[in-house]
Amino acid sequence: MTNETLSPALCGAAHRLRLAQRLASAAFALGMLAWSGGAPAHGDVTPQAVDTRALPQLGKDWRAENPYRKHDAAIKIGASAYNQNCARCHGLEAISGGIAPDLRKLENDCATLRDAVKKSACVKEVDEFFAGKVRRGVTRNGAVYMPPFEAMLTQEAVWAIKAYLETRREKKL
């Protein structure tokens, strides 16, 4: 239907209707944006398996030390894996809201060490501690403080998350 076939009043009504429809669909689109951006913003999403096929594969045996330090692809995958699996408790961008430890501080004690050998031993110790916690979780007196992730996350995913967290350190090494 073209405007010529409508009386001026109808034409105005049709125009208002089209405008309303456009506004409604714009509002809907904005709403969808807010919604889809909102879920990860709260970190409140179902735990997810993580696709780590793009990373060097590590085999069955767990490494004692993060093999992906400063590995760009690992950091990217780790950031998303962190948001899917850890942020709901440890906070967005690893900034803890207080319910769980602030993982930016994991290596604070290492950062103050001057001796390079001691420092790298310290970081390695934190790596082992980290992998152990993530794999087994934390249960005390029958209460689950943190669920175990061993069945959910591959070794590659766990170290990718650590590589991401290393970019979020509170104190630089």
Under the rule (CB under 6 A), what is the footprint of ligand HEC?
85-86, 88-90, 100-101, 103, 130, 133-134, 138, 145-147, 149, 161
Between residues 68 and 130, which has the closer beta carbon with respect to ligand HEC?
Answer: 130
At closest approach, how far in Å is the CB of 125 from ligand HEC? 12
Q: Using DSSP, state whether 139 is helix, strand or coil.
A: strand
Tokens representing 14 are 């049709």
CB atoms within 10 A of CB 35: 9
Between residues 38 and 132, which has the closer beta carbon with respect to ligand HEC?
Answer: 132
CB atoms within 10 A of CB 55: 21
Between residues 88 and 119, which has the closer beta carbon with respect to ligand HEC?
Answer: 88
d(CA 77, CA 81): 6
Between residues 11 and 124, which has the closer beta carbon with respect to ligand HEC?
Answer: 124
Between residues 6 and 102, which has the closer beta carbon with respect to ligand HEC?
Answer: 102
At closest approach, how far in Å is the CB of 149 from ligand HEC? 5
At closest approach, how far in Å is the CB of 35 from ligand HEC? 22
- How far CA 73 is from CA of 76, 93, 95, in Å, comes to 5, 17, 22
**DSSP calls for 120-153:** HHHHHHHHHHHHHHHHH-EEETTEEEE---TTTS
At closest approach, how far in Å is the CB of 2 from ligand HEC? 58
**b/e code 84-94 from CB counts within 10 Å (16+ = b):** bbbbbebbeeb
At closest approach, how far in Å is the CB of 72 from ligand HEC? 19
Q: Using DSSP, state whether 143 is helix, strand or coil.
A: strand
Name the β-bridge partners of 140: 143
